Structures are given as structure tokens and as C-alpha cells.
Amino acid sequence: MTDPKAELRPPAPARGDVPAERQCLRCKATFWSAGFGERVCKRCKSQASWKSGSTQASGSSRRSSR
């Protein structure tokens, strides 16, 4: 028999998912991160380009032409 409350509990965090100082993937500044899923600092996340989802300058592409 399963515990019905067990389904409501959040899953346990991964072993390596701990708060730590990490380097921002955009500006390379060191910032305090709540876990390994947080890799962009608050300063970069507050910029309009981050909020709009734009990661490239206009007209540029990450893919190479073949």
C-alpha cells in the first residue's frame, strides 16, 4: 500500500544541487546561486535582452551555413 501523502511531497534535490558561488554564463561575474539550475546572475536576468529571449545580435546565427 502506498502513502497518499508521498505523492504530494516534492522530490528530494540532487546531491550536487546545493547553494554555492557560481560564475554567470553571460557576464562571467561570480554570484550566489541557489542551486546548479541557476547559472545566470540577477543582473543579467534583469536586462531586456534576457527578458525578450534574445541571445544573439540581430542578423547573427549560431548555426554555420552549409
Domain count, the chain: 1
- How does pLDDT run across 34-46, given as a tens digit for each residue? 998 999 999 999 9
Domain membership of residue 41 (yes or no) is yes
Domain membership of residue 8 (yes or no) is no
Q: Which domain holds residue 29?
A: 16-46
Domain membership of residue 32 (yes or no) is yes
Residue 65 has pLDDT above 60, yes or no: no
Domain membership of residue 37 (yes or no) is yes
Domain membership of residue 40 (yes or no) is yes
Residue 22 — φ and ψ, nearest 5°? -135, 165
Residue 59 has pLDDT above 60, yes or no: no
pLDDT > 90: percent of the chain: 41
Q: What is the DSSP letter of 14?
A: P
Cβ atoms within 10 Å of 16's Cβ, excluding its own: 8
List the Cα angle 60/62/66 in 5-degree steps: 100
Q: Considering the entire predicted model, what is its pTM?
A: 0.59
